[in-house]
Amino acid sequence: MYTRIQAPAEMPVTLDEIKLHCRIDGDDEDALLQGLVAAAYGQAEHRTGRALLPQTWKLVCRIGAAALYGVPLRRDTTEIVSVTWTDAEGNQQLWDASSYWLVAGYRLVARRQWPDTGDMPVTITFRCGAFSGPEDFPESIKAWMKIFAGTLYENREAVQTVELAELPRTFVDGLLDPYVLIEV
């Protein structure tokens, strides 16, 4: 199971940027706007299938058949922090980093035979992120996030009593298209 243990340090869209986009002057809605930016960021990651900014994850799994092909991690993995398991005597074991490497930016592959973990799950802690920080974050994804967050701000309910118009999918979601990971 994948679990994010450290979120990105900061969002790519600042509070000032979203307030300007939504044409908001006061501070009354700051917490709401920050939450909407975080929701937009989460959706951008979901729709592109990638961790966009640096963050730390862990995967708890049993090695099994993965020993042949490697263990798939999140795309855009930049570093394996550790590979650990608990042995039969209850002692925490750390697999030496020289025993494995990262292939194709997302697959942990053994350089030599996998350790005998018995039936115990292995915990792989790793860092990932397609972009090094907000300073090199693509403007098209930021624009999509602002539109998404602005739409949530203006339409706070799932059901509206007035008729809404929707921009064509190719316009708004097309801003994310160059960054979507496609499985082959």
Give me the chain's average pLDDT, please.
Answer: 89
Taking only the tens place, the pLDDT of each residue in 117-166 is 878 899 999 999 999 999 999 999 999 999 999 999 988 776 666 666 66
Is the CB of residue 131 less than 8 Å from the CB of residue 137? yes
Taking only the tens place, the pLDDT of each residue in 88-106 is 888 999 999 999 999 988 9
Q: How many Å apart are CA 158 and CA 36, to the nearest integer?
A: 15
Is the CB of residue 98 less than 8 Å from the CB of residue 111? yes
- Please say if the pLDDT value at position 168 is more than 60: no
Assigned superfamily of 2-52+132-179: Phage gp6-like head-tail connector protein (1.10.3230.30)
Where does residue 123 fall: left (phi above 0), alpha (psi -120 to 50 degrees), or beta otherwise? Answer: beta
* Residue limits of CATH 1.10.3230.30 in the chain: 2-52+132-179
Taking only the tens place, the pLDDT of each residue in 169-178 is 556 778 898 8
